[in-house]
Every structure is written in structure tokens, then in C-alpha cells.
Amino acid sequence: MASVKSIVPEFEAANQKYAASFTKGSLPLPPGRKVIVLVCMDARLDPAKLLGLEEGDAHVIRNAGGRAADALRSVVISQQLLGTREIVVIHHTDCGMLTFTDSELKSKVRKDLNEDADHIAFLSFKDLKQSVLDDISLLKKNPLVLDIPITGYVYDVKTGKINKVEA
């Protein structure tokens, strides 16, 4: 296997620069705007920039596809211990989760790694709008999630705009 140069030294240098002018060490633990933003881990999305968030404003939960089932543990902690009272779900165009099925990925893991991933729900989807609606529904129906406003959007990776998803 070819040697790959680590990015870690770049991160450490960037952090030294950041920390040298850091002034936000006294922010309170609970998010100031009492909101959870559930969004995909895609590197083309910067939730803070696209929503105008600053440090301390929101709990941002990121995972592949921005899926609610994968975020449930964090949602419960955020609501029960840190007082969040609104959820925003954001999926996006050109999402990798649209490009495979769970069974395809499980087969790939079995072939490439000689391991069984049958116990993992990878939560792929084929309909972007429906995936947002499904995640909103999952959160609203889950007895562990408070009855609070939940709004869904699709972020367009080509324009930078969010478009509200309604049933």
C-alpha cells in the first residue's frame, strides 16, 4: 500500500492559529438558539454558513444522509439535557445516499472486507423529498422525541439554497 501523507500536521497548524485568537471560551453548554440541525456529513455542506450559525447557536448532528434514525441518541440528549426545542432536518441534492442500496453496500463489505454488515441499517434512499418527510415522521412519531416544531429542507449543492419540504 502506498504511503499517504497525513493531513494532521495541517490541522494542528490551523488549530494553533485559531486558538491564538480564540475568544469564545465562555459560551454556555446549551445551544443559545435551542435548535438541533440534522444534516448530512457531505463535505460540500457547511451548516453554519448556509444557516448563518455561530459557535454556541445550535447542536449540529451530522451523519451519512442526515438520517434521523442514526441521530436519535443525540436528539434525545440534546432535548432532555440541553434544552433544545426545535429540529431542522436538511438533506441535499446529489447525495451519495441516493447511489446505492443497503443490500449493495452489505454485499460490498462482505466482498471487500470479508465481514458481515447485515446488522447495520445504512439508511440509503431513492427519493430525496421522501427521505426528508420520512425523517420528520420518524422524529414526530418517536415517543423519546418531544412534540416540538420540526422543519425539513433540501439543500441544493449547485445553488447553495435550501428549499422547504412539505407533505
Bridge partners (DSSP) of residue 91 are 154
Residues making up the binding site: 40, 42, 92, 95
| pLDDT given at position 64 | 98
Name the residue type at position 118.
Answer: D
Q: Which pTM was predicted?
A: 0.93
| pLDDT given at position 4 | 86
Proportion of the chain above pLDDT 70, given as a percent: 99
Torsional class of 144: left (φ above 0), alpha (ψ -120 to 50), beta (otherwise): alpha
Give the residue from 81, 91, 90, 88 showing the smallest Cα distance to 36.
Answer: 88
Residues making up the binding site for Zn(2+): 40, 42, 92, 95
Per domain, the residue ranges of the chain are 28-159
User: Could you tell me the pLDDT band of residue 2, with boundaries at 50, 70 and 90?
Assistant: low
Asked whether residue 3 carries a pLDDT value surpassing 90, the answer given is no
pLDDT digits (tens, 9 = 90+) for 120-137: 999 999 999 999 999 999
CATH topology for the 28-159 domain: Beta-carbonic Anhydrase; Chain A (3.40.1050)
> Which ranges of 21-162 would DSSP assign to H, the alpha helix?
47-51, 68-82, 102-113, 128-141
CA 112: distance to chain centroid? 27
